[in-house]
A and B are shown apart, each in its own frame.
Chain A
Amino acid sequence: MADEVLFEFLHMEIVSHVYKEQQSRKGELDGKDRSACVSILEGMGFRVGQGLIERLTKDSPSFKDELDIMKFICKDFWTKVFRRQVDNLRTNHQGTYVLQDNTFALLTQLSTGKQYLDQAPKYLAYSCGVVRGALSNLGLDSVVTAEVSTMPSCKFQVVIQKL
């Protein structure tokens, strides 16, 4: 599928733009600036996730419960957005879910192993936002974080915020 290359390149440009922009304002980047960058990227993803889920679920029946929603995210949503299903879904049944993708689309081009591991957060922030945006429009407030121990495998942790 051709579009995907275009998306990957665009994503890389976006990441580098956000970081460059921050750097041009501050000079040197410290930890706080880096997290500012991550939250900008996350915000961009959030809006996109909202748009995507609206278009994806327009013909689907309503969901039974939270788990049903998470299953939808792992199967249909993931397939449409990241071109494969989530490999493993775990939950503690108290609102915390761990979605494991063993070959995450945006990491496969980077490395297989531990090299560049420190760069991983930049390339995951956008995706975290997409997932959070999708959940948000399904009525679930959440915090989504990503964790990588060996590329290109990646774990997304979703913590649903109870009202």
Chain B
Amino acid sequence: MSRQANRTTDSKKMNSELFTLTYGALVTQLCKDYENDEEVNKQLDKMGYNIGVRLIEDFLARSNIGRCQDFRETADVIAKVAFKMYLGITPSVTNWSPAGDEFSLILENNPLVDFVELPDNHSTLIYSNLLVGVLRGALEMVQMAVDVRFAQDTLRGDNVTEIRMKFIKRIEENLPAGDE
């Protein structure tokens, strides 16, 4: 009977723990597979990209959001809708460049690093680099080439986690020859 009480714990919460721990297991495995952190970062980015190109479909289908008019709107959608939906957090959007083609996402608490401490010998590892790939991949599927990178990371001693995003260009839709 007493065990019944535990069942009220939010099941979504547990799921994100499963996700966080699984992600940790992946990073551990990658560190075993590859010699240096650079290579691990690259792999995480690649896997993130693969996830992003598929995740965007899920996102568009569920969020009912149409085409963004400008990069500011894109930033808002990413921070307020997408991050909320998939990671349950809302990063703040700051540090706009004067041209409006570059901004930062500030993550107060990054769910991917919940139970993580980086050992000293992995100082160049960008633990959450998967996110970079996800963002890049997803935006590429909506015709935006964007440069994404971690500018700061609490795991490496910074005060906040900051993801810097820079709009590069709009990708032209290439219709196959002969198609209207």
Binding site for B on A (CB under 8 A): 1-7, 9-11, 13-14, 17-18, 21, 40, 44-45, 47-48, 51-52, 55-56, 59-61, 72, 76, 79-81, 83, 126
Contact B15 A80 (CB under 8 A): yes
Q: Known pairs A10-B22, A10-B51; list 15 more (Cβ under 8 Å).
A: A3-B12, A3-B19, A9-B54, A10-B23, A10-B130, A11-B22, A14-B26, A18-B29, A47-B21, A48-B25, A52-B14, A61-B2, A80-B11, A81-B18, A83-B11
Contact B86 A5 (CB under 8 A): yes
Contact B55 A1 (CB under 8 A): no
Size class of the B contact interface (CB-based, 8 Å): 35 or more
Q: CA–CA, A80 to B22, complex, Å?
A: 14
Q: List 20 A-B contacts (CB under 8 A).
A: A2-B86, A2-B88, A3-B16, A3-B86, A3-B87, A4-B15, A5-B55, A6-B19, A9-B54, A14-B22, A44-B22, A48-B21, A51-B17, A52-B14, A52-B21, A60-B2, A61-B2, A76-B6, A81-B14, A126-B22
Whether B43 is near chain A, meaning CB under 8 Å from some CB there, is: yes
Q: CA–CA, A45 to B25, complex, Å?
A: 8
Q: CA–CA, A42 to B146, complex, Å?
A: 36
Closest to A1 in B: B12
Q: Give the 5 A-B residue pairs with the shortest CB-CB distance, closest first.
A: A80-B14, A44-B25, A48-B21, A13-B47, A9-B51
List CB contacts (< 8 Å) of B1-45 with chain A: 2-3, 6-7, 9, 11-12, 14-19, 21-26, 28-30, 33, 43
Closest to A68 in B: B3
Q: Which residues of B contact A61 (CB under 8 A)?
A: 2-3
Q: Which residues of A contact B85 (CB under 8 A)?
A: 2
Interface string of B56-94 (1 = CB under 8 A from A): 001000000000000000000000000001111000000
Given contact pairs A14-B22, A52-B17, A81-B14, A40 touches B86 in the complex (Cβ within 8 A): no
Q: CA–CA, A56 to B14, complex, Å?
A: 8
Q: CA–CA, A18 to B26, complex, Å?
A: 10
Contact A47 B25 (CB under 8 A): yes
Closest to A5 in B: B58
Whether B152 is near chain A, meaning CB under 8 Å from some CB there, is: no
Q: CA–CA, A2 to B89, complex, Å?
A: 12
Contact B86 A13 (CB under 8 A): no
Contact A51 B21 (CB under 8 A): yes
Closest to A24 in B: B33
- State how many angstroms separate the Cβ of A40 from the closest Cβ of chain B: 7
Closest to A2 in B: B85
Given contact pairs A3-B86, A10-B22, A79 touches B55 in the complex (Cβ within 8 A): no
- State how many angstroms separate the Cβ of B78 from the closest Cβ of chain A: 14
